[in-house]
Amino acid sequence: MALRFEILGKFKRARASRLTLPHFVCQTPLFMPVGTQGTIKGLTTSQLEDIGCQIILGNTYHLALRPTSELLDQLGGLHKFMNWPRAMLTDSGGFQMVSLLHLADITEKGVTFQSPVDGKPMLLTPEDSIQIQNRIGADIIMALDDVIKTTVTGPRVEEAMYRTLRWIDRCIAAHKRPHDQNLFGIVQGGLDPMLRDVCVKGLVERNLPGYAIGGLSGGEDKNSFWRVVAQCTAALPEDKPRYVMGVGYPLDIVVCSALGADMYDCVYPTRTARFGTALVPEGVLKLKNRDMADDTRPIDPTCLCMVCKNYTRAYIHCLVTKDAMGSQLLSYHNLYYMMQLSRNLHSSIVEERFPKFVCDFLHQMFPKGDVPEWVCNAMEVAGIDISSCCAPLSSCQEYDSKNVSEEFIHCGRTDSNIGGHDRCSGEM
Amino acid sequence: MKSSSVQKALSSGARIGAIELANCPGVSINTPALLISTRKGLPYFTPPDLLPSLPSPDSHLLQVSPLHFLEGISPATIGKIGGIHKLIGLGDYGVVAVPRDNVHSLPECKGASKLGASFETPCGRLLIKPKDYVEMISCMRPNIWATLADEVPAWVTDKRNRTSVDRTLRWLDDCLALNPAVGSVFGAIVGGTNLDERKRCAEEVAKRNVAGYWIGGFGLGEAIDERPALLRAIVDVLQDEKPRMICGLGLPEEILQGIAAGVDLFDSSYIYTLTLGGFALTFSLDKNGNQDNFKLSQRGSDSTKINLRATEYRLDMSPIVDGCSCHTCQNYTKAYINHLYNVHEMLAQTLLEIHNAHHYLRFFRVIREAIQDGRFEEYRLTFTNSRREHYGRVAVC
Ligand SMILES: [Zn+2]
Ligand SMILES: [Zn+2]
């Protein structure tokens, strides 16, 4: 085990902790930006430090193709290669293959896929995945799991869960650097509470440094989503970090943190930036919108980032989608927003004002009190009273997009027009 | 408002001077100087928070094309925000507004008419009239702005060339008559490859109430050997104490040629072109101009630059230039930039632009020192000859 996890504060199920990794001492809850190819969308590592990023994610599949894990190993690991002094996490590569390649097939041996280089069939076994991740050298590495779509039902879900458990032993056995790198196991089991339970128990028996909740953020409905998170966080050990994979909407992060999760990753903040969308306390701001052309306010007047301190919406409108600088500046702001959200979650829990933070957050995002029902349900389980920010008559109602101005579109709804976000689907 | 001043020339032809900016008293930018090329006011790939890592105050002159803003933001909004400096969040930088940027906004002589100048831009061909242009300038409030020019390539007829001079002078008068009362006006000088027209245009511009000169019509098909005579014809009739800016000279030899003729300010679209192609400047910044110690081991390179996309840099964990103090060389390796180019990541251009701009700004510093010490001609000869010898060696191998 190459980490230390100390809980600094708690409110009911929510916790704020100090997570000490080989390369950085992190504060949770935390959001991890995705740097698929050893870089995060035009930002330098000094900028990522300025923004406050603590852990960044690398995608094993992409890095194994280019520049290759052998090269990274030879040159001293990914940290040195990309000049990132802080913590790093790599995924197993399995999900990328299943989601990006049509001909991926999972057998007991591993994931078979067609090589994007020469089209030949290739096999990624749990042992291969760990060996590649050992070479890349991230602080946290992920076990290879049997990934299925969240929408899959029936015996395949059960098979995938048991296979994930069998593979974790192969991953543990293959892991050559347990004193430098932390292997996290991934809880699978679809939306079936029984299967999730078996998987959690099986993984906890292995006494891993940390656990991830996988198989979510793939288009399941929000009620199923939060219930799986709530079930897993309740069953996972208190003294180990819990990572919900692929979660990236600010609202989802607040809900999951209230339920006791600690870590998140998603391409959403940087991907949405490239489409001209900024994350703001009210939801999102579409900078491509014509109204922005003469709006002289900053993106978010309450934001202290370099972009909001210096630029108007009108200027960003003029840059977005046409010029590289536009998406760089928007990515900068969006990541700053996510880091600020992480910091606020941490400090509000430590300073024992977490419920107030949650209410303020929901009030800004849903000024009319139309907090989605699933959020109300999840908060009830989390033991947080949010009645003050829900509409007076019907305390919780389904949000109605006709009631809000065009300018803001709330995120976190599965049927919103923001578009789906895939679990670590890679930022291309 | 005083926004620029130039000291007296120190040696024949090449001269050193200084530009003072009204918005940052006490700061003066020494000339000959390189202007940082921008897209909509910000460097193409260098984010504003990394701009201060470039040599200072050398890097504090930005060249901005008002035409870039014709898509997306109105002059009125720029005015409401408080002008170009506020818009781009760089209050203590000098902004030089020039319609032609040599990258995305190029003169198109066929589209020009007596009404205004024509440019080929990403939003199509644009006809810019003096009145519209002066309105943009009034809203942007740059430190320096060049007047509209009807630039023509080297191959046009004498008649067309004469027309271009006539129009450019008329638009200069129009711009001055509209008097936006902002910044220092640089009068545009054209005349193509015709010595008499160049001289006529320069003489006329010199008679006007301008703070400096913008020399256009270069880099448009003329032979490199034609330039010294053309530049001499222009510079001879200009007032010494006013700064001279040129557009269209980019390569190190071209810069040296321009400086030898007495030009003070240059654009850096050359840096943009290099960066886009994956090229990193590596030529020697030796104070005497000697290029002999350049190691010619790399493929896809000449004696001034290397191509970081080449596979030989895959495992190269050294910086682009050993001992370079730029942000890129201090933090990143050739192997990493090679990877970024391979996977088409934006950061590749960001890191390379920082190095290239840094390297070229240092080159200008070395040149200024050579002028100051009275050994510019010597420097230029050594630089040019050792590069030429180099090409000789390459040809033999
Ligand atoms: Zn911001
Ligand atoms: Zn450098």
Give the model confidence (pLDDT) of A280-316 as tens digits. Answer: 999 999 999 999 999 999 999 999 999 999 999 999 9
Among all bound ligands, the one having the nearest atom to the CA of B285 is 2
Q: How far is CA B334 from the centre of its chain?
A: 27
Question: In this complex, which of A83, A319, A332 lies closest to B332 when CB atoms are compared?
Answer: A83
Task: State mean pLDDT over A220-249.
Answer: 97
Q: Residue written as tokens 């006006």?
A: B185
CB spacing of B42 vs A325 below 8 angstroms: yes
Confidence band of A247 (pLDDT split at 50, 70, 90)? very high
Question: In this complex, which of B73, B88, B122 lies closest to A314 when CB atoms are compared?
Answer: B73
Catalogue the E-assigned strands of A40-133: 55-58, 87-90, 105-106, 111-114, 121-124
Cα distances (Å, whole numbers) of residue A16 to A149, A152, A390: 31, 34, 26
Cβ neighbours for A158, distance < 8 A, ≥ 6 positions apart: A192, A195
For residue A217, the model assigns a pLDDT of 87
Q: How far is A97 from chain B (nearest CA, A)?
A: 18
Cα distances (Å, whole numbers) of residue B3 to B184, B186, B200: 6, 12, 27
Q: How far is B94 from chain A (nearest CA, A)?
A: 17
Confidence band of A402 (pLDDT split at 50, 70, 90)? very low
> How many angstroms does the Cα of residue A291 sit away from the middle of ligand 1?
19
Tokens, residue A15: 């916790």
Tokens, residue B308: 């970081």
Q: What is the C-alpha separation between A87 and A54, in angstroms, rounded?
A: 6
Residues of chain A contacting residue B345, judged by C-beta atoms under 8 Å apart: 37, 39, 41-42
Confidence band of A102 (pLDDT split at 50, 70, 90)? low
Residues of chain A contacting residue B343, judged by C-beta atoms under 8 Å apart: 37-38, 62, 66
Cα distances (Å, whole numbers) of residue A217 to A213, A411, A421, B350: 10, 13, 7, 33
For residue B302, the model assigns a pLDDT of 67
Tokens, residue A142: 């992920």
Asked whether A184 and A143 are in contact (CB, 8 A), the reply is: yes
Q: How far is A143 from chain B (nearest CA, A)?
A: 26
Q: Is A248 part of any known ligand binding site?
A: no
Task: State mean pLDDT over A331-350.
Answer: 98
For residue B1, the model assigns a pLDDT of 37
- Residue of A323, A330, A335, A428 to mutate when probing chain B, most B C-beta within 10 A: A323
Residues of chain A contacting residue B42, judged by C-beta atoms under 8 Å apart: 319, 325
Asked whether A411 and A205 are in contact (CB, 8 A), the reply is: no
CB spacing of B335 vs A312 below 8 angstroms: no
Asked whether B305 and B285 are in contact (CB, 8 A), the reply is: no
Catalogue the E-assigned strands of B84-171: 94-97, 106-107, 117-121, 124-128, 144-146
Q: Which residues, in sequence order, are bridge partners of residue A30?
A: A263
A239 in catalytic set: no
Residues of chain B contacting residue A426, judged by C-beta atoms under 8 Å apart: none
For chain A, the residue count is 428
> How many angstroms does the Cα of residue B143 sit away from the middle of ligand 2?
29
What are the structural domain ranges in chain B?
9-267, 278-396
> How many angstroms does the Cα of residue B195 sit away from the middle of ligand 1?
54
CB spacing of B40 vs A323 below 8 angstroms: yes
Q: Residue written as tokens 């991953």?
A: A171
Tokens, residue A328: 């760089």
Catalogue the E-assigned strands of A64-191: 87-90, 105-106, 111-114, 121-124, 140-142, 182-187
DSSP state of A369: S
For residue A151, the model assigns a pLDDT of 81
Q: Which residues, in sequence order, are bridge partners of residue A4?
A: A20
Cβ neighbours for B295, distance < 8 A, ≥ 6 positions apart: none
Domains of chain A: 4-270 (3.20.20.105)
Task: Provide, rounded to the nearest whole percent, the portion of chain A with pLDDT above 90.
Answer: 82
Find the Cα–Cα–Cα–Cα dihedral A309, A310, A313, A319, rounded to 10°. Answer: -140
* pLDDT per residue rounded down to tens, chain B (397 residues): 344 444 444 445 899 999 998 888 888 999 999 999 999 999 999 999 999 999 999 999 999 999 999 988 999 999 999 999 999 999 999 999 999 999 999 999 999 999 999 999 998 999 999 999 999 999 999 999 999 999 999 999 999 999 999 999 999 999 999 988 889 999 999 999 999 999 999 999 999 999 999 999 999 999 999 999 999 999 999 999 999 999 999 999 999 999 999 999 999 999 999 999 999 999 999 999 998 765 554 444 566 899 999 999 999 999 999 999 999 999 999 999 999 999 999 999 999 999 999 999 999 999 999 999 999 999 999 999 988 776 655 544 3
Q: What is the C-alpha separation between A59 and A82, in angstroms, rounded?
A: 14
A270 touches chain B (CB under 8 A): no
CA angle A388, A393, A399 (to 5 degrees): 80
Catalytic residue among A91, A128, A139, A146: A91
Q: Which residues, in sequence order, are bridge partners of residue B218?
A: none
Residues of chain B contacting residue A310, judged by C-beta atoms under 8 Å apart: 48, 89
Q: Residue written as tokens 């929408």?
A: A151
A91 in catalytic set: yes
Q: How far is B179 from chain A (nearest CA, A)?
A: 26
Confidence band of A120 (pLDDT split at 50, 70, 90)? confident
Confidence band of A152 (pLDDT split at 50, 70, 90)? confident
For chain B, the residue count is 397
CATH class of B9-267: alpha beta
Does ipTM come in above 0.90?
A: yes
Q: Is B123 part of any known ligand binding site?
A: no
- Please count the other Cβ atoms lying within 10 Å of the Cβ belonging to residue B206: 16
Q: Give the CA count within 13 Å in the CB-facing half-sphere of B263.
A: 32
For residue B391, the model assigns a pLDDT of 63
Question: In this complex, which of B47, B122, B339 lies closest to A38 when CB atoms are compared?
Answer: B339
Tokens, residue B79: 């005015």
pTM: 0.94
Interfacial A residues in 302-361 facing B (CB < 8 Å): 306, 309-312, 314-315, 317-319, 322-325, 328-329, 332
Comparing CA positions, the residue from A383, A388, A343, A380 lying closest to residue A11 is A383
Per DSSP, the residues of B215-251 read E-S-SSS--GGGHHHHHHHHHTTS-TTS-EEESS--S
> How many angstroms does the Cα of residue B324 sit away from the middle of ligand 2?
5
Among all bound ligands, the one having the nearest atom to the CA of B352 is 2
Task: State mean pLDDT over A45-61.
Answer: 97
For residue B393, the model assigns a pLDDT of 57
Asked whether A390 and A369 are in contact (CB, 8 A), the reply is: yes
Comparing CA positions, the residue from B312, B345, B311, B308 lying closest to residue B329 is B308
For residue B294, the model assigns a pLDDT of 54
Asked whether A296 and A313 are in contact (CB, 8 A), the reply is: yes
Q: Which residues, in sequence order, are bridge partners of residue B30?
A: B18
Average pLDDT of every residue of chain A? 91
Q: Which amino acid is at B158?
A: D
Among all bound ligands, the one having the nearest atom to the CA of B334 is 2
